[in-house]
Copies of this chain bind each other. A is one copy, B any other.
Amino acid sequence: MRRINAAEAAEILKAQDHILILTHRNPDGDTLGSGFALLHGLLALGKKAKLACEDEIHPKYAYMHPAAEQLDFEPEFIVAVDIADEKLLGPTLFAQYSGKIDLCIDHHLSNTLYADTLYLRECAATCEMLYEVICALGVEITKSIADCLYTGLSTDTGCFRYSNVTPETHEIAAEILRCGADFDNINRIMFETKTRAYLKLEELVLKTLETYFDGRCALITITQKMFLESGSNESECDGIASLPRKIEGVLVGVTLRERKDGSYKVSLRTYAPLDASYLCGKMGGGGHARAAGCDLEGAQLADGKQKLLEIIRMELEKI
A residues with a Cβ closer than 8 A to B are: 158-163, 165-171, 173-175, 177-178, 183-184, 187-188, 191-196, 199, 242, 245-248, 271
In whole Å, how far is A89's beta carbon from the nearest beta carbon of chain B?
31
If A170-B173, A170-B174 touch, whether A246 touches B193 (CB-CB below 8 Å) is: yes
Q: Is the interface of A mostly helix, strand, loop or mixed?
A: helix
Docked pose: A192 CA to B163 CA in angstroms: 13
Whether B167 and A175, one on each chain, are in contact in the complex, defined by CB atoms closer than 8 angstroms, is: yes
Copies in the complex: 2
In whole Å, how far is A274's beta carbon from the nearest beta carbon of chain B?
14
B168, B177, B193, B246: the one contacting A165 at CB < 8 Å is B177
B163, B177, B245, B271: the one contacting A166 at CB < 8 Å is B177
Give the residues in chain B near A163, CB-CB below 8 Å.
184
In whole Å, how far is A250's beta carbon from the nearest beta carbon of chain B?
9
Whether B167 and A183, one on each chain, are in contact in the complex, defined by CB atoms closer than 8 angstroms, is: no
Whether B196 and A247, one on each chain, are in contact in the complex, defined by CB atoms closer than 8 angstroms, is: yes
- In addition to A160-B173, A165-B177, A171-B171, 11 A-B residue pairs with Cβ atoms within 8 Å of each other are A159-B160, A161-B192, A165-B183, A166-B177, A167-B178, A169-B174, A170-B174, A174-B174, A194-B248, A196-B248, A199-B247
Give the residues in chain B near A171, CB-CB below 8 Å.
170-171, 174
Docked pose: A169 CA to B178 CA in angstroms: 12
In whole Å, how far is A242's beta carbon from the nearest beta carbon of chain B?
8
Docked pose: A167 CA to B165 CA in angstroms: 16
Give the residues in chain B near A242, CB-CB below 8 Å.
192
In whole Å, how far is A244's beta carbon from the nearest beta carbon of chain B?
11
In whole Å, how far is A246's beta carbon from the nearest beta carbon of chain B?
5
Docked pose: A163 CA to B187 CA in angstroms: 9
If A159-B159, A184-B161 touch, whether A248 touches B168 (CB-CB below 8 Å) is: no
In whole Å, how far is A235's beta carbon from the nearest beta carbon of chain B?
15
If A159-B159, A165-B183, A165-B184 touch, whether A247 touches B174 (CB-CB below 8 Å) is: no
Cβ-closest 6 pairs across A and B: A163-B184, A170-B174, A167-B174, A161-B187, A170-B173, A170-B170
Docked pose: A68 CA to B199 CA in angstroms: 47
Chain B residue at minimum C-beta to C-beta distance from A209:
B199
In whole Å, how far is A219's beta carbon from the nearest beta carbon of chain B?
16
Give the residues in chain B near A195, CB-CB below 8 Å.
248
Give the residues in chain B near A175, CB-CB below 8 Å.
167
